[in-house]
Every structure is written in structure tokens, then in C-alpha cells.
Structure 1
Amino acid sequence: MKWTVLGCHSPYPGPGGATPGYLLETKGKKLLMDCGSGVLSQLAKITELHTLDAVLLSHLHHDHIADFFVLQYAVQTAIKTGKRQGPLTVLAPQYPEKWGRLLAYHQAIDLHPIQEGDPLHLCGLAISFFQTDHKVPCFAMRFDNGAACILYGADAGPQTKWDKMGTNPELFICESTFLEKDMPLSPMGHLSARQAAIAGESMGAKRLLLTHLYPEYNPNHLYDEARPYFSGELTVARNGLVIDVGEA
């Protein structure tokens, strides 16, 4: 499995950056996780947009779906021109209903609701969804190819039950929205870099990727805050970063 960072900022992209989006490639298949502002221009550097096999949207906040509505156009155009033979498989929450209704688009999108529970088998992967602590329905995703697994934590606050998501992922992608000094007094459905590191350590993750970064932060400060709390390999996300995780 190969995980590529297409966007890692929030709530808006920094210069040349993008809000959350990640490409997971496995055995010739391409899955896009989240599709924030600027993600498609980064994705187009790697592959033609119409070649995606599936899109998985963790939740329906603007910073995670802004470019999805442009992707609808790309898929519809590819079908009309014969570059693509069928609709794009999309898995996403249904709520907030206002945005859930807009995910379908003519014949371009084959839409399926995300549900916590039994694994879905897609593109040779067992995929499990786990609801996180967030303001709207939001789902972490665990991808298992039989030899290795990746856990994408999506947006997740301090009350997220990480222990229900399994242990020892080879790669844990976790949001680090805040430095501790900037944490709000009341939980906001987001984590600090320190909290992300503690979560990664508690589940025995081998590698932790800090993401969902405020674009005005110095990435070194996030790394320095997390480092004492995580014993494995620690990385701060940046556009174009590629992480290889063992194949079956």
C-alpha cells in the first residue's frame, strides 16, 4: 500500500497547499480519502482524475469536501468522452443532510452511505469505519490488506474511542489541529499534537503521521510537542509525502 499526502492543512490551505486529501494505492487500485480545497490539482500531478476507483469521505465539512463537487464534473466529463466506462464509487456519511444530498451527481456518482460496523471489502482491502468525536458524523477508516493496516483517524476530538479501532497499525494518520498552548477550554472535536501522539502510542502504532495542520504553524513545533509522547517513527505531513506500507 502506498499513502500519498495531497493536502494536510485546515481549516484553509496555505500557499501552494490544500486541505485534507490522501491517495491510497494498492494492487493497481486508487482510492481517494477526502477531497478538500486544492486536492484535485495535487492529485492531477500523480494520476488522471478519471482513473480513480473510489472516493471515501470521512465527513461533510467544507475543508474535507470542497473539491469533491469539482470532481463530479471531471467524472461526468470522462464518461461523456469515453475515458471512463461507469460511475465513481463514493462512500460518505449521509449527514448533515444538506450536503449529503449534493454528493450524488447525474450518472457520475455511485453513492453508498458509511456505517460503523462490519468491514467493507473494496479494491482488495478490508475497510472498517469507526465514528469519532466530532461536531458532525465523522468516521475514522482502517484499511487492511491481510499483511498490514493503515488507520486514518479523520477529524477526532478527545472523546474518540481509539481502543475500538484495533491495535498496532503500521501507519496511523492523526489530526493535530492545535498546539497545546492554543487548545480551547471546551473540547472542539479536534486534537493537539500531544494528544495525537498519546493516541498513537496507546494503540501501538509503528508510525504516526501528524496532519490537519493549521497552515500558520511551524511544523517543527508540532513535531517537538508530539515527540516525547510517541516512541515510534513520527512525521509531520506535507504535500507530496509518500509512505509505503507492506503489501500482502
Structure 2
Amino acid sequence: MRFTVLGYQSPYPGPDGATPGYLVETDEVRLLIDCGSGVLAQAGKHLPIYELDVLLLSHYHHDHIADIGVLQYGLMVHQLFGQRPADRPLPIYAPEAPAQNVQALTYRDATCFYPINEQTSLTIGDVTVTFLRTDHGDGDPCFAMRLESKGRVIVYGADSGPGTNWAAFAQGADLFICEGTYLDHNKPQKPNGHLSVRDAAELAESLSCGSLLITHLFHGYEEADVVAQAEAYQSGTCYVARIGLQIDLTTQKG
């Protein structure tokens, strides 16, 4: 599996930036995970959007879904141009609530909706995807995703507070993508459904993950500060998200 960061910033994109969106590619499929503001412009550097096989949404907060409308328009046009079959809408797998968000996911022949929950298991080409509900704080469901292919495991943590039970879901993952919404100086005293960079590093170390990608960062953070506060993670390579960063698990040692 090859993992590409298309966007990672939150709550809004900085100059030339993008909010969360990630591309996972294998020999058989191309999956888009979340579709934030600016993600489609970045995706076009790697593939035409009509070649996408699936969109997986963790939840419906604006920074994770802002580009869905233009994705639907784009796919509709590519169908009109004959570049994507009209009988091949892009499947969008996403939470069942809130209902108003679900209703917007099916658009003409361009996209269709399939619900996910913690019991859902998908086989998409050579990738198996399972889900874990995270502690994201506001009552609406948010799901982490575990992607397995050819003996490799990527866990995308989505948005998560300290109450998430990661033990069986993310233990020993080859790559753990974990949010680091806060630095030490701006972390709220009361948990609010997000983790800090330091939290992310300590979590990945406790789970013995092979590598860690810290994402969901405010665009004004300095990379050096993120690296310094991730010092607890010692088990493997620690990546700080940046647009265009690619991690190829096929080249990593098992």
C-alpha cells in the first residue's frame, strides 16, 4: 500500500494548503479517505478523480467533507465526457448519522452512499477495511479505519479523544495516522474529542506501531515544534504530515 497526504490541516487550510484527505493506492484499487477543503486540487497531482474506486468518510465535520460537492460535480462531468461509466457511481462509505449529511452523499449517477458502523467489514479489491468508533466528543459518530492488504496494516485514527479504545484495533500497525490537534501550549485542560501531538506520540509508542504520521495540524505550527513534542515515540519513523508526503509500505521492512 502507498499512502499519500493530500491534506492534513485543521480547522481550515492555510495558504496553498488543504484540510484532511488521504489517498491509498494498491495494485488493484485507489481509495480516498476523507475529502476536506482543497483535497481535490491536490488529488489531481496524482490521478484523475474519475479513477477513484471508493471514498471513505470518517465523519461529517466540515474540515473532512468540504470538497464532496465539487467531487460530485466533477464525477458527473467525467461521466458526461465518457471518461467514467454512467453506471459506475463512486461508492461513499460513511456514518449513518446525521441524516442531513447522509442525504447529500447520493448525487445523480455520480455518487452513492453505503452506511458504516463498528460491525462493518469491507473488501475493496485487495484491501480489507474495518472500523472503530472514536471518542470525538459531540455525539455524532466518527470512525477510525483499519486497512489491511498483503500483510500490511494502516490505521487511520480520524479525530479522536483520549477515551478511544485502541488496543486491539491499532496494536502493531505498520503505519498509524494519528491526529495532533494541539501543542502543549494550547491543549485544553478538559478533553474535547481531540489529541495533542504529545498524546499521539505516547499512544503510538504504547501500541508498538511500526511508524507514526502526525496529522490534523493547525497550519501555523512549526514542524520543529511538532517533532520535539513527539519525542515519546521511539518505535519507528515519525512523520509530520505535509501535502504530498508519500509513505510506501511495500518498501518498509516487516
Q: TM-score range by the shorter chain?
A: over 0.9
Counterpart check, 1:107 vs 2:109: yes
Map 1:176-215 → 2, pairs under 5 A? 176-215=180-219
Distance (whole Å) between structure 2 residues aligned to residue 63 and residue 52 of structure 1: 20
Counterpart check, 1:12 vs 2:16: no
Aligned length: 248
2:36 maps to which residue? Answer: 36
Distance (whole Å) between structure 2 residues aligned to residue 166 and residue 206 of structure 1: 11
Distance (whole Å) between structure 2 residues aligned to residue 214 and residue 94 of structure 1: 28
Structure 1: give runs of 5+ residues left out of the alignment. none
Counterpart check, 1:117 vs 2:130: no
1:145 maps to which residue? Answer: 149
Counterpart check, 1:82 vs 2:82: yes
Pairwise CA distance, 1:167 = 1.7
Runs of 4+ in 1 over 2 A off after TM superposition: 228-231
Structure-2-length-normalised TM-score: 0.94
Distance (whole Å) between structure 2 residues aligned to residue 99 and residue 180 of structure 1: 34
2:49 maps to which residue? Answer: 49
1:234 maps to which residue? Answer: 238
CA deviation string 1:97-120 (max 9, x = no partner): 222211111121121011112521
Distance (whole Å) between structure 2 residues aligned to residue 115 and residue 220 of structure 1: 37
Pairwise CA distance, 1:240 = 0.3
1:167 maps to which residue? Answer: 171
Identity score, percent: 47
| Contact 1:227 1:234 (8 Å CA) reproduced | no
Structure-1-length-normalised TM-score: 0.96
Distance (whole Å) between structure 1 residues aligned to residue 233 and residue 5 of structure 2: 23
Structure 2: give runs of 5+ residues left out of the alignment. none
Pairwise CA distance, 1:38 = 0.3
| Contact 1:151 1:173 (8 Å CA) reproduced | yes
| Contact 2:35 2:57 (8 Å CA) reproduced | yes
Q: Give the letter aligned to residue 125 of structure 1.
A: V
Distance (whole Å) between structure 2 residues aligned to residue 118 and residue 185 of structure 1: 34
Pairwise CA distance, 1:52 = 0.4
Aligned residue for 2:76, secondary structure, equals: helix
Distance (whole Å) between structure 1 residues aligned to residue 105 and residue 120 of structure 2: 23
Aligned residue for 1:24, secondary structure, equals: strand
Distance (whole Å) between structure 2 residues aligned to residue 56 and residue 170 of structure 1: 20
Judging changes above 3 Å, is the alpha-carbon distance between structure 1 residues 187 and 119 closer, same or farther for their aligned structure 2 residues?
same
| Contact 1:200 1:230 (8 Å CA) reproduced | no
